[in-house]
A = this chain, B = another copy of it.
Amino acid sequence: MRDVFVIGSGMIRFGRYPERLLEDFAGEAVRAALADSGVDPGRIGMAVFGHSQGGRVAGQRVLRELGLTGISILNVENACAGGGSALHTGWMAVASGLHDVALVVGMEKMQKGLIPPNPGEYEAVLGKTLPAKYALRARKHMARYGLTAAQLALVSVKNHRAGALNPNAHYQKEVTLEEVLASRPVAEPLTLLQCCPTTDGAAAVVIAGGELARGVRQSVVRIAATTLKSGMYRNALKDPLSSDDDVATRTGAAAYEMAGLGPTDVDVAEVHDAFTIGEILAYENLGFCPRGQGGRLVEEGVTSIGGRLPVNPSGGRLSLGHPLGATGVVQVVELTRQLQGRCGARQVPGAKVALAYVVGGSTPGIGSGASTVHILTM
């Protein structure tokens, strides 16, 4: 397998676009990525789209609008990990040598608002919806490790502070610790400002292998690792609340091995903070701190912009927004630009190694159905 590089990135400002078609705003992200890469669109051999609610052949409908047709087009669904899974798939196409240049797009128009349960998804029917599931994990963390409500809320404060510096974030407004704690309870201890909003969005990257990747831009970013894994049945049965810890830990460990790097090498990360507790657990599962110490990490400012390991400088799911299939790709857009030094007020100075992590597809019996970790290097 050959090296694969991100040679262009694009996104729209995340937000609510009830009047815009998915085809329209996803096309805007694709055009931005193509322009950023400078690559001739005629060189793109394959396009992979990650989405959950776009309907049949949604990627084809997007590219039809751009006249970018005739190529290999694939739609990938893996719930909140759909964008990461699309990048993983596009990477296979280029790493294998089948295509020299591929387009990877994550997009979602959250037409249905909340995510409805699948048929047979008995846990959700019984009330164990995603907010409830994450709330239980937060409670358990509090009981076992002494995580405090304030530490949890600080994740939201930190990410909204970053989002306020990101002109593409859905919410560009700081919130105080008091505001987070006093906001409406959704599933205690998670308050409204600790749950991601309902956001439409699209993001795209152009990836390339071989000679082409070295010619188009001065600062291309290497995909040093890409891993996709699912939760394990036996672990979920042992401890339903920590099965996500297991999938994140395994997916992260495989990525570190593939990249030949470890947690201490990471300079900046984007992780799955659909709920504040998700980010705390990500710290621990990805080895940013020992287990149980995630609350302290955010409290000490380690993961803030300016800290030792800034996490979610984009504003994360809590402030940038979380359009399911778009998330895995927009994380890589943010991290590519961080490595390229293009992030203005929220720039992490001198970042050389970046990590992106998404998880999703709640599946009773195995926890999460899909998780991806990508490690990018300059």
Which residues in A have some Cβ–Cβ distance to B below 8 Å? 1, 21, 23, 46, 52, 55-61, 63-64, 67, 69-79, 85, 88-89, 92-93, 95-98, 115, 118-120, 227-234, 247, 250, 360-361, 363-366, 369-370
Pairwise interchain contact A74-B73, C-beta atoms closer than 8 A: no
Shortest CB distance A372–B (Å): 9
Pairwise interchain contact B61-A363, C-beta atoms closer than 8 A: yes
Q: How far is the CA of A70 from the CA of B250 in the complex (A)?
A: 9
Question: Chain B contacts of A79 at CB under 8 A?
Answer: 56-57
Pairwise interchain contact B56-A118, C-beta atoms closer than 8 A: yes
Shortest CB distance A67–B (Å): 5
Shortest CB distance A28–B (Å): 16
Pairwise interchain contact B71-A118, C-beta atoms closer than 8 A: no
A229-B70, A230-B72 known; A60 vs B120 contact (CB < 8 Å): no
Question: Chain B contacts of A56 at CB under 8 A?
Answer: 52, 77, 79, 115, 118, 361
Shortest CB distance A342–B (Å): 31
Residue from the list B78, B89, B96 in contact with A57, Cβ < 8 A: B78
A1-B98, A92-B98, A370-B57 known; A67 vs B21 contact (CB < 8 Å): no
Chain A interface, >50% SS class? mixed
Pairwise interchain contact B55-A119, C-beta atoms closer than 8 A: yes
Pairwise interchain contact B76-A74, C-beta atoms closer than 8 A: yes
Specify how many copies of this chain sit in the oligomer. Answer: 2
Shortest CB distance A110–B (Å): 13
Q: How far is the CA of A92 from the CA of B102 in the complex (A)?
A: 14
Q: How far is the CA of A115 from the CA of B56 in the complex (A)?
A: 10
Q: How far is the CA of A89 from the CA of B366 in the complex (A)?
A: 24
Pairwise interchain contact B73-A370, C-beta atoms closer than 8 A: yes
Q: How far is the CA of A98 from the CA of B226 in the complex (A)?
A: 11
Q: Which residue of B lies closest to A236 (CB)?
A: B69
Pairwise interchain contact B74-A229, C-beta atoms closer than 8 A: no
List 23 A-B residue pairs with CB atoms under 8 Å apart, sorted by A's residue number: A46-B228, A52-B56, A55-B118, A56-B79, A56-B115, A57-B363, A60-B370, A64-B365, A69-B230, A69-B366, A70-B229, A70-B233, A71-B229, A72-B88, A72-B230, A73-B230, A73-B369, A74-B89, A75-B77, A76-B76, A76-B77, A92-B96, A95-B98
Q: Which residue of B lies closest to A1 (CB)?
A: B96
Pairwise interchain contact B366-A23, C-beta atoms closer than 8 A: no
Residue from the list B21, B57, B363 in contact with A119, Cβ < 8 A: B21
Q: How far is the CA of A59 from the CA of B76 in the complex (A)?
A: 12
Pairwise interchain contact A363-B55, C-beta atoms closer than 8 A: no
